[in-house]
Amino acid sequence: MKIPSIAPTFLEIYSKLPPESLARALRPGVPDDYRHWDELKHRSPPNGLSRDEWWCALKLQRFATKKQIPLFGPDGEPFSFSVPDTIGRQLHEIDLGAGGRIGIPELVANADQRDQYLIRSLMEEAITSSQLEGAVTTREVAKEMLRSGRSPRDKSEKMILNNYRTMRRIRDLKQAPLTPELVFELHRMVTEDTLDIPGAAGRFRTPEELITIEDDAGEIMHLPPKATQLPARMEAMCSFANSDSIEPFVHPVIRAMILHFWLAYDHPFVDGNGRTARALFYHSMLRADYWLFEFISISDILKRAPTKYYRAFLYSETDENDLTYFLLHQSDVIRKAIASLHEHIAKKSIEIRDTRHFLKNWRHLNPRQQALLAHALRHPGFAYTIEGHQTSHDTSYNTARTDLLALAEEQLLDLHKQGRKMIFFPTESLETTIKSGGHSTS
């Protein structure tokens, strides 16, 4: 990816403009869709302005609404952000769609169905977040590993399993304030047995462990802060995360996005920074009661356009520490992630309706069993295990065992044993048995 041009600072532009140019730049009504200099320099300025006048006008407008945060660049200059209308609208949509119950799909709010969507989301985020960091495996193979409970075969699968366990852990920690110890715990979880440096999990990188972020050609894209600064910087990050009375006011979603940026920017660990940064985002969103984020995967959206993701970091770094570029990108990602969940649930609603009609003679079966049969009809050769059913529905081992044995007793599944392990397959006559109502008297 090409590194964007460093944007001229306001003082650089302001100091070289003659008075008549400044007068033109100060005229009201210059539209701003918040493009970086790297994009803007290739566009024609509006209203007869020169490019420098245009940039000066935009910088003046942006400065008027900037809010600073306690994150600092290598030169000691603070990061800051604005909330242009685009972000404001998206924050409103997020508030409606992920905080309260307004507009929430009924199936997610339905206790009988929510566990299936929760596990789907946890798996999706675990897989795609790992793939963003280099994990090489297919979604199908990864899901099979997570559902079956088998041990990972390689580093990629271990990364995915670590992420899955971390996402589940975040649900338990969502009321806990952010502390360095909690950040270290999350880092240990996402990197367990995957680091090239033994013992590097859950600790800061050392001054000897020089970290640079480079592109494919070896050009340095980002140089993180010195290791000696990391303890103080993490304390500042945690203080920012936990303070509800901080001035100026920071919207909870913006706070979560900034934490995502902050951890990735500081890069406090030898590896696993991206996965840990996204984990902090989820922790912050759930702690702020955006409960729908148990069911949403932002990494699935990020993976579709990773270059835009990385460029959003670089745009913020190369224009006077302006976080607005990252916030614009992330708020759009969140909006798309919420929309993706709604689309998936709309599709599943149709499938569930059709399944319920097809299983009208089997209404004595619980929703977990009905979901398994719907899956079995589409995948006649699939092997089901107690552990896999337990994982898929976030239930206990005994409950999963009871579900599968009952389906075998109904002659809907065939039970096979491999040693002491029980494996269940759809019967060859599954569809016929379901249509006929089987032997049930319920």
Residues 6 or more apart from 111 whose CB is under 8 A from it? none
* Degrees to nearest 5, angle at CA 58 with 55 and 61: 150
* Degrees to nearest 5, angle at CA 371 with 428 and 348: 120
Rounded CA separation 144/140 (Å): 6
Rounded CA separation 414/406 (Å): 11
Rounded CA separation 421/149 (Å): 12
pTM of the full structure: 0.88
pLDDT at 372 over 70: yes
Residues 336-345: pLDDT tens digits? 998 888 888 7
- For 80, 240, 250, 321, 377, the CA distances from 69, given in Å and listed in that order, are 6, 8, 9, 10, 54
Number of Cβ atoms within 10 Å of the Cβ of 33: 11
- For 50, 204, 247, 429, the CA distances from 68, given in Å and listed in that order, are 29, 26, 10, 66
- Cα-flanking dihedrals φ and ψ of residue 137, to 5°? -165, 165
The residue type of 260 is: H
Residue where the block lists tokens 């532009």: 13
Under a CB-based contact definition with an 8 Å cutoff, are residues 415 and 408 in contact? Answer: yes
Rounded CA separation 227/222 (Å): 15
Under a CB-based contact definition with an 8 Å cutoff, are residues 321 and 80 in contact? Answer: yes
The residue type of 195 is: L
- Beta pairing class for 384-385 and 421-426: antiparallel
pLDDT at 201 over 90: yes
Give the model's pLDDT for residue 114: 65
Distance of CA 91 to the CA centre of its chain: 16
Residues 391-432: pLDDT tens digits? 888 889 999 999 999 999 999 999 999 898 999 999 999 989
**Paired residues of 414 in beta bridges:** 425
Fold assignment, 71-343: Fic-like fold (1.10.3290)
- Kindly state the average pLDDT of the residues 246-253: 83
Residue 101 banded pLDDT, cuts 50, 70, 90:
very low
pLDDT at 185 over 60: yes
Residue 247 banded pLDDT, cuts 50, 70, 90:
low
Residue-range domain boundaries for the chain: 10-64, 71-343, 361-436
Structure tokens that stand for 414 in this block = 């065939």
Give the model's pLDDT for residue 363: 84
Alpha helices in 251-366 (DSSP H): 252-266, 273-287, 298-304, 306-317, 324-358
Rounded CA separation 424/234 (Å): 49
The residue type of 189 is: M
- Most trustworthy range by pLDDT among 90-104, 251-265, 418-432: 251-265
- The answer to whether 71-343 and 361-436 have equal CATH topology is no
Q: At the top level of CATH, which class does the domain 361-436 belong to?
A: mainly alpha
* Degrees to nearest 5, angle at CA 380 with 375 and 382: 75
Give the model's pLDDT for residue 438: 67
Under a CB-based contact definition with an 8 Å cutoff, are residues 145 and 160 in contact? Answer: yes
State the distance between the two ends of the chain, measured CA to CA, in whole angstroms. 62
Give the model's pLDDT for residue 106: 55
Rounded CA separation 405/402 (Å): 5
The residue type of 222 is: H
- For 109, 125, 381, 434, the CA distances from 394, given in Å and listed in that order, are 16, 16, 23, 26
Question: What radius of gyration do the chain's Cα atoms show?
Answer: 26
Give the model's pLDDT for residue 440: 43
